[in-house]
Amino acid sequence: MNFPSKLIEDAVTEISRLPGIGKKTALRLALHLLKQHEANTEALALAITRMRTEIQYCKTCHNISDAEECSICISHRRDGSLLCVVEDIRDVLAIENTNQFQGKYHVLGGVISPIQGIGPEELKIESLLSRVEVAAQSAPIKEVILALSATMEGDTTSFYLAKKLKEKGVQVSSIARGIPVGGELEFTDEVTLGRSIMTRINYATE
């Protein structure tokens, strides 16, 4: 594409660096901004710059935060004895949206993936283990829920963590894998279906 203006060309180039946004979409967004009031573009530019430069990561759970420690970690209404281990920040938001979890979080920052060169050292695993150890002296963490993706990498990481955590004497659980709510049996893949039979829930003890 030959742009009639260097300014718009630069803007399109920068916008199209974002994931999932090609040159055509970038141009559409740039022309949209041109039609809007100047203040809107300034607000957008300021918001992303401030976010990038001022954001912090919670020193306890590594979630994004506006302060040294995030709002979930400092909250007294959350159950500190229950810890949910997730891959990244989006998972925290997803679980928070369910309103089903009242414990605290630990954000790993990824999963173990030898192909991508991500080993246990690259993740916040050491921090998780020492967090469990430190807590044991005052307010012990009773259960760690592993809420990682049901992929090979996620399962590998869960297995690794379960082994390490059990050495520290905490109960370890994993979120249930099975048929999604509203899902039909015949359209469920055989691995999921097989696993949902193996890990069936006893009605009497539920």
Residue ranges in contact with its own copies by CB under 8 A = 1-8, 10-11, 13-15, 17-20, 25, 27-34, 38, 40-55, 63-66, 70-72, 88-90, 92-93, 96-97
Comparison of 8 and 179: residue with beta carbon closer to its own copies: 8
Output the smallest distance, CB 53 to its own copies, in A. 6
71: nearest Cα among 42, 95, 105: 105
CA distance linking residue 102 with residue 84, whole number of Å: 10
Partners of 57 in beta bridges: 64
Comparison of 33 and 129: residue with beta carbon closer to its own copies: 33
Residue 157 contacts by C-beta under 8 Å, 6 or more apart in sequence? 108, 111, 112, 123, 148
Output the smallest distance, CB 71 to its own copies, in A. 6
Comparison of 60 and 174: residue with beta carbon closer to its own copies: 60
Query: Hey, how many other C-beta atoms are within 10 angstroms of the C-beta on 11?
Result: 20
Output the smallest distance, CB 52 to its own copies, in A. 4
Output the smallest distance, CB 23 to its own copies, in A. 10
Comparison of 107 and 112: residue with beta carbon closer to its own copies: 107
Contact 34, 25 (CB under 8 A): no
Report which DSSP code applies to 149. -
Output the smallest distance, CB 8 to its own copies, in A. 6
Residue 29 contacts by C-beta under 8 Å, 6 or more apart in sequence? 15, 21
Provide φ and ψ at 51, rounded to 5°: -55, -50
